[in-house]
Amino acid sequence: RTLLHICSRCLATIVACAWTAVHPDIPPYGEDPWWQTFRRIGFTVSALIASDIYLLIAAFQYFNARKIAQMDVFKEHSWDITHGFFVLMGGFALCKPSERDTMQLDAAELCSLIGSRKLDFPHISEQGVHDRSKADWVSKTAASIQIFWFTLQVFARLVNRLPVTKLEVFTVGFTVMANAAYAFWLKKPFCVGVPNILHERPDAPRIPSDVPTSQYYHHYVSIENRGHVHSLLHPVALLWNASWGSYIEFLEEDVGIQYPPPNGRLLSTVCVILYPFFCFFAAAVAIFTQLRRNIWHFQPVGASSQDRLVIVTCLLVAPTISGLIHCAAWSSQFPTFIEQSLWRVLSLVITCCPLLEASTFAIVAIFDFSSLPKIVEDALEQLSLIIFGIIILILYAVSRLILLVLAFTTLRAFPRDAYKAVSWVELIPHV
């Protein structure tokens, strides 16, 4: 085998894992198709360095979808977890002709409208939901065969005592995380582009809109009102508006100051002047808070203790196994001592980070802090957010990114036996 074969097969396996494992939610009705494609590519790339986030989202969505399917209004129509996923991911949207707009409905809103007889029950079969999915058994089978072949050839090389490149080690570790997330999303429709539009009953009273119309969170404009320039600048304006809104919310709620700043408030004025320094932070917060309304739909709270235990276990087991796979290359040859030391240290980091993440999440999810004084409860909440949501997450993502870089840089020099192929594995169809 050649260096080109090694790189192409690893990249094919990584793309197959990331592209098929990440199941995005339904975008807002009328959103630009090219923006959907851009976001889809972003999911695939970000999964390489932050795969534990997608695993956590997949676990939350699985239990949320199961809870939705068990709601009385849906249970009496024999809806299963596939329907629950479809509701959760924004599969139903209410048409508002007066505003020439649509509003995606969550499970509570859908139940409320059906219970008040403002909407007829949206009858859709499981086959109808799957028919909207863009994933077929051909693509799933092709991806599964590629992943199976790649894992088998790495195992065969170990059995035959042939060296495995660091890129192959990284790829195997990534497949563990991708398959874990895919297991939770197995029943979720894949890449549904348009929600099922619902219309209110003709005899129903007018439904007031309770969606916030703040200038900071206007996520998109209907296609009819867009020009060519507006369409091109739409993603930039979207991120800018959301980041500015997050910054104002950060000032008012977290810092405790008013915007615009009242006269004589030096602290308020200084914080507003320092906005450019907070811009990057605000944009990052916006992606995972404000923009998440249209990207991912899930409720991180409300799960039972047993469900939370499963989430903690998955958050612990899969990333730890992935980290241990990287540690398996501990004694292998590296071009330089610095690269070997970096690989060892960072492998330990991504192995131990899940332990800290799961421990922090378990403490927050299992223990009841409501009996504590308010100031202590808030302090523990902020501390857990800083540890779990910022420090450990950034450390884990940076470590995976550096490991990915090392996986490619170490290809410049590795043992000659790494070029040897296991002949019988090549007989299995693969890319």
* pLDDT tens-digit map of 315-354: 788 888 989 999 998 988 898 999 999 999 999 999 988 8
pLDDT value at 314 more than 60 = yes
The whole-model pTM stands at: 0.71
**The Cα angle at residue 163 between residues 162 and 164, in degrees rounded to 5:** 120
Q: What is the DSSP letter of 25?
A: P
The whole-number pLDDT of residue 265 equals: 45
Range among 81-95, 114-128, 389-403 with highest mean pLDDT value: 81-95
131: pLDDT confidence band, cut at 50, 70 and 90? Answer: confident
Instruction: Return d(Cα 21, Cα 182) in angstroms, integer.
Output: 5
CB 154 within 8 A of CB 147: no
Report CA dihedral (68, 121, 98, 195) to the nearest 10 degrees: 50
Identity of the highest mean pLDDT range in 38-47, 266-275, 333-342: 333-342
Window from 97-111, 241-255, 306-320 with minimum mean pLDDT: 241-255
Judge whether residue 378 has pLDDT over 80: no
Amino acid letter at 5? H
- What pLDDT is recorded for position 362? 64
> In what helix (H) or strand (E) does residue 93 lie, and over which residues does it extend?
strand 92-96
Q: Is 307 or 361 the better-scoring residue by pLDDT?
A: 307
How many of the other CB atoms lie within 10 Å of CB of 71?
Answer: 16
Residue 343 corresponds to which tokens in the numbers above? 């690989």
pLDDT tens digits, 50-78: 788 788 888 888 888 888 888 888 888 88
pLDDT band at 404, cuts 50/70/90? very high
pLDDT at 217: 30
Within 13 A of 228's CA, how many CA atoms are on the CB side? 0
* End-to-end CA separation in angstroms for the chain: 13
Tallying the residues shown for the chain, one arrives at: 431
Instruction: Check whether 134 has a pLDDT greater than 80.
Output: no
pLDDT in tens, 150-202: 888 888 888 888 889 999 999 999 998 888 888 898 888 887 878 888 887 77
Ranking 9-23, 30-44, 116-130, 278-292 by mean pLDDT, the lowest is: 278-292
CB 95 within 8 A of CB 351: no
Q: Phi, psi at residue 102, to the nearest 5°?
A: -130, 160
Write out the two tokens for 243.
């980041």
- The CA R_g of the chain, rounded to the nearest whole Å, is 24
Residue 288 pLDDT > 70:
no
Using DSSP, state whether 152 is helix, strand or coil. helix
- How would you list the strands of the sheet with 92-96, edge to edge? 101-104, 92-96, 196-198
